[in-house]
Amino acid sequence: MSELRVPTMAEMMASGETPEILFWVGCAGSFDDKAKRVTKAFVKILNKADVKFAVLGTEEGCTGDPAKRSGNEFLFQMQAMQNIQVMNAYEVKKIVASCPHCLNTLKNEYPELGGHYEVLHHTQLIQTLLDEGKISISGGSFEGKKVTYHDPCYLGRANDIYEAPRELIEKLDVELAEMPRNKERGFCCGAGGGQMFKEAEPGNEEVNNNRSREALALEPNIIAVGCPFCKTMMADGVKHYEKEEAVTVLDIAELIAKAADL
């Protein structure tokens, strides 16, 4: 990220500035190669829109979502309290996250531990920036493409965020093809509940292959996602069916960044 403008909260505070938004990068966005591309795309959008933001950098720890979903409440509370202590010291008010697991935990589970913040998904903020004219896009690079969107469980069913991602896709001059199971009736990619970090349990079929088959049946050019775990699982499913030459799995931030020539 060295070629991009990504200030830390510590740097901003040292210079007497206060950011409008804390960008919560998340473990995947920091370390996973696929998710790092999403982080870069989103930072480019923030810089283009001249949003005053900062990251915690090395002061950011895991939200504790994987620990909590896997049943280790004690570890979750340890991780959460450490993050809350850091953010409250910086007087953080507003957070944007590109990972729905981080969003859900920060928004819905941190308040009972003393962490009270306004938390947005990156698609919601991007939609606002477009509506306010702070960034502009041309769907030319995607014109005529067919896109299907996979609803992340923790974005959709857990937090009722369905429209922002779809409205962004519809601005790209593409055909949005919905899978039979979408929105409130969406189907998991297979990574939720801590499954991202463990081997699959015995069964007849991998969950991500089931979901990927449903997406591929629409013959899309692009499978759009809004979650780093979904991106990995859907990409693995596409690879399982040997369709990676024909179908690309991209986060919505990557689509918008490309459409904005960033």
CA angle 203-217-202, nearest 5°? 5
Please give the structure tokens belonging to residue 111. 């308040």
Which pLDDT belongs to residue 111?
98
Q: Is 23 helix (H, G, I), strand (E, B) or coil?
A: strand
Could you give the domains of the chain? 9-127 (3.40.50.1860), 137-259 (3.40.50)
DSSP string, 125-177: HHHHHHHTTSS---GGGGTT-EEEEPPPTTTTTTT---HHHHHHHHTTS-EE-
Spatial distance between the Cα atoms of 31 and 144, rounded to a whole number of angstroms: 34
Contact 148, 213 (CB under 8 A): no
Q: How many residues make up the chain in this entry? A: 262
Q: Which residues contact 173 (CB under 8 A, 6 or more apart)?
A: 139, 140, 142, 143, 144
Please give the structure tokens belonging to residue 107. 């928004």
Which pLDDT belongs to residue 199?
83
Ramachandran class of 50: left when φ > 0, alpha when ψ lies in -120 to 50, beta otherwise:
left
Please give the structure tokens belonging to residue 204. 């007849």
Residue among 95, 176, 172, 183 nearest 127 (CA): 172
**Residue-by-residue pLDDT tens, the chain, 262 positions:** 777 889 999 999 999 999 999 999 999 999 999 999 999 999 999 999 999 999 999 999 999 999 999 999 999 999 999 999 999 999 999 999 999 999 999 999 999 999 999 999 999 999 999 999 999 998 678 988 999 999 999 999 999 999 999 999 999 989 999 999 999 999 999 998 888 888 888 889 999 999 999 999 999 999 999 999 999 999 999 999 999 999 999 999 999 999 999 8
Q: Which residues of 111-146 are buried (b: 16+ CB within 10 A; e: fewer)?
A: eeeebebebbbbbbbbbebbeeeebebebeebeebe
Which pLDDT belongs to residue 193?
82
Which pLDDT belongs to residue 139?
64
Which pLDDT belongs to residue 89?
97
State the burial class of residue 209 (Cβ atoms within 10 Å of its Cβ: 0-12, 13-18, 19+): middle
Residue type, 44: K
